[in-house]
Amino acid sequence: MKKNINDISPRQAASAAGFGLLLMVVLAPIAYFSVLQNLIVSGDAQATVTNITNALGSFRISIVLLLIVAILDIIVSWGLYVLLKPINKSLALLTAWFRVVYAAIFAVAIANLYHVLPILEGAAYADMLGADQLNAQVMLLVESYRIEWDTGLAVFGLHLSILGYLVFKSGPRILGVLVVLAGIGYSVDSFGKMLIPDYSLTISLYTFAGEILLIVWLLWIGFRGVPDTLKRAK
C-alpha cells in the first residue's frame, strides 16, 4: 500500500523541532543583541531615532529575522506535539497551543517595529508631527514591542513548564526539570515586570540551560531514533 505522503514520523518531528530551535538560537541573538540593542537607547527617544535612521537597513533585517523566529516557533510547537503526544496527547496539544499563542503575541510585538519604518521614511510624518512628536511616536512603538514581548514570555513560560513535565515523563528526568525551571524563570520575569515597578531581576538568564539541552536531546532523537518511552501511549 502506498504510504500517505502527509504522514511524518516522531523522529522526523524531533529533527524539525531541534533544527528549528537551533536556527532560532542563531537568528534571535543577531536580531536583538547585534542590532536592536545597539540601536535602542532606553529613555532617549532622540538618540534612538537617530540610531535607527542611520541604520535602517540593519533595522529592517532585524525585523525580518524576528519574524522568521516567530514562524519557527510554530514549526517547533508542531514538531514537539507530534513527538510528545504518546506521553499525554491532551497536554502535548496544550503546550503546543501555548507556544502558538506566544508566537502570535510575538508577531504582534514585531509589527510595532515594522510600523516605525513609514514614520521615519515618510516625509509627510515629519511635517505633520514635528521632531519631538515623531521621536515620541517611535519610542512608543519600540516600548510597545518590548512590553508585548514581555507579556508573551509569560505564556512561553507556561509552555516550557508543561513541556518540561512531558519530557520528564518521557525518560530524561533531569532535562525535564531543567526545562520546567526555564519556564518558571520566564514566567517570574514576565509577571514581575507587570506587578513590580522598576523590576530589575532577570531570572531567565540563569535558568535557560534546559532550552539548550532540549535542542541537543531533540537532535539526538532525530539522529539515533525515538526511545521506547516515546512510543508507548500513556
* Cβ-based burial of 79 (10 A; exposed 0-12, middle 13-18, buried ≥19): buried
pLDDT exceeding 90 applies to what percent of the chain? 79
Say what the pTM is. 0.91
- Degrees (nearest 5) of the Cα angle 98, 100, 102? 70
Whether the per-residue pLDDT at 234 is higher than 50: the answer is no
CA torsion, ordered 170, 176, 177, 183, to nearest 10 deg? -140
Q: Of the candidates 185, 193, 192, which has an alpha carbon nearest to the alpha carbon of residue 158?
A: 185
Give the model's confidence band at 6: pLDDT under 50 very low, under 70 low, under 90 confident, else very high.
low
Q: Of the candidates 207, 156, 201, which has an alpha carbon nearest to the alpha carbon of residue 182?
A: 207
Whether the per-residue pLDDT at 153 is higher than 50: the answer is yes
pLDDT of 59 reads: 97
Q: Which amino acid type is present at position 183?
A: G
Q: Of the candidates 95, 45, 51, which has an alpha carbon nearest to the alpha carbon of residue 73?
A: 95
Taking the alpha carbons at both ends of the chain, their separation in whole angstroms is 29
Give the model's confidence band at 133: pLDDT under 50 very low, under 70 low, under 90 confident, else very high.
confident
d(CA 112, CA 150): 14
d(CA 153, CA 122): 33
Residue with cell 532617549: 44
Give the model's confidence band at 123: pLDDT under 50 very low, under 70 low, under 90 confident, else very high.
low
pLDDT digits (tens, 9 = 90+) for 15-55: 999 999 999 999 999 999 999 999 999 889 999 999 999 99
Give the model's confidence band at 7: pLDDT under 50 very low, under 70 low, under 90 confident, else very high.
confident
Give the residue-averaged pLDDT of 111-128: 82
Whether the per-residue pLDDT at 194 is higher than 90: the answer is yes
